[in-house]
Amino acid sequence: MTFGLFGSGIVGLLFALLLQGVVFSPNRRLYGKLVAMEKNIWLQNPWRCGFVVFGFNAVLFTLVLAIAWGSMVASATSGMLIPLFLYAPVAVAVSILGWLWIGRIRRHSFADRAKVALTGSGFYWLLSVAAWIRLQTLEPRFPGEDTFMAAIGFVFLLMIACVAAFLCTLLLGWPRRGRHEP
């Protein structure tokens, strides 16, 4: 299970790195659309941009959670084994590409980039805090219940949320050299 989580994250990161050249290459059609998006009103205000990234993170996490739950229900009802970590690399790649995209088209001061980065990654920071609190207050629901597997689940959630929060903050807030010229 740990190898599945780690392996799917690595595959997603490699997938995002491979797609980065396709998405951000100046001779592609998508690049022109990305440059045109720089003039949108939601990118001009750092708080608004941060809340859009926050929503993007929340929607993507909820979508992955719904797919995982649906996969478990489908495998339980039909007896068909569906690999749970088949879609995780795609979710990681979409997240990283989205953060890179917002980070590349944002051209503002360090303070504005910090506002976008901390507001946008706030979903994962809040999820990290919630997982930590839940892990610290984990108690059996009935006498004799073993909470070991629940604790392992919260540790995995804590690791995933912390890495996502740190990576989102880094990719949105770090200044990049060699950005496009409008």
Checking if the pLDDT of 23 tops 70, the result is no
Per-residue model confidence (pLDDT) at position 64: 83
pLDDT tens per residue across span 30-53? 556 666 666 666 677 888 889 989
Q: Can you read off the two tokens belonging to residue 5? A: 């989580």
pLDDT tens per residue across span 75-111? 778 776 666 666 777 777 788 888 887 877 766 788 8
From CA 122, how far away is CA 62, in angstroms rounded?
15
Checking if the pLDDT of 24 tops 70, the result is no
pTM (predicted TM-score): 0.75
> Which runs of consecutive H residues, i.e. helices, occur in the chain?
2-24, 29-37, 41-44, 46-78, 88-105, 110-120, 122-136, 148-173
Share of the chain above pLDDT 90, in %: 24
